[in-house]
Chain A
């Protein structure tokens, strides 16, 4: 009886992390029409950096969190400057491959610097469960949900309410018209890559206490992408809803079907949705010629 709510809560927690990563995917896609295959690696990097700052340098948790996010964001900006910006005129395929290459470099680079050792990351909040209305929850999972949701809401408000955020939206919608209104395409792209990388890193730091940190944990990041596609890649709200949905589906599937097939289930959902409803469950179809 009590299993289902338990599973739902863990689904929501996982979904909120996917939403952070997925938001980063969507922001970049809307502006550049590119899927950033390095997003998962940015997430992994966030976890590794936080681990480094808090364990190796013994900095407080909050400072480590912030530093990890800022470092990842700056790396995002640097990569955009050095590599992606030169490829803006190239075919989309080229840019996609470039992000694949960057992802591979981050993954292998971390392995070179830190080895493949697996590590656990301490959390600020306890993982000891307490029971509320018959459901046991941990302060840890609640804190993860709270921080992720807070970040997602903050970003949505930023895009909807601030002039800079609206300018970035405008640039994503219509480059020429945004340029004519005085918005710099280069500056916007720098900000977009910084934000997207920072979001991924934040997801990585939040996720770290739950899982074992390895250079390969980035493959989880791709779930944010799948969730975003499930919901609809073109609209931020739909994409985030899709991420939560994916988290819940996975948790349900993991408990009621088989935990080792969890990843297969999510990819199957992806292929299914792409074949039946390419615009996503909550997205509106893009105009396409016959």
Chain B
């Protein structure tokens, strides 16, 4: 029965991570469920997002964005984490009469996360965890002027972007917890004098942590709300390219923690959205990641 309920919740809720509306228009960061752990990690993440676009109220195209990411996290100090990633993106637009594909390295990002408060119980399990992060996204990815109709498929914003992030994780018991994360992405201006709108995101999810033999299974489900401000070209609103609007999504993830590896699968599905006056709709997204855990000491416990 529990399995059926879980399968049902995955099928009907679904959801992602820190979401971008289109190609390079990233990104609200997320340090995710494992924020309060102290492992160094290196890993790989693969994500798929899709959108449906409308023109004059008629379906015009379907966009698919596949991102492969190399990522790492290191604990520089008991209160300082450094998190980074380098994405590679493949984007495809399918229309009635043709298709276009854009691919390339995206914008690398680096985020410092500072632990403001953390208390643990006698077993070493984190009870409360509060952190703030400051990050930067480097304009390494391909980017084109706003006159290019495929601009939103390109993997770079072409600008230096800055990230602010706050994370609070509350563990009620050894099996249940709650996490809330808020982030804000401040977009810069590219060399064509185009600036994507700033984005804000707030996500909240409950999670349960269960033992499966010698492994840990962490299942989470919750909601994400993201808001995209208007994009501007030469200081004026560019209605043809902007992604202004909001998306409210349900999300879920399943994470399996073994002695050295962390496997994660997550899905996200919009429940309510209005982007660019309802001319763009985000569809179901999914991601799979695998991280290698480099433990600081042999005695370190796997706790959230």
A-B interaction: no
Binding site for B on A (CB under 8 A): none
| Residues of chain B whose beta carbon lies under 8 Å from any beta carbon of chain A | none
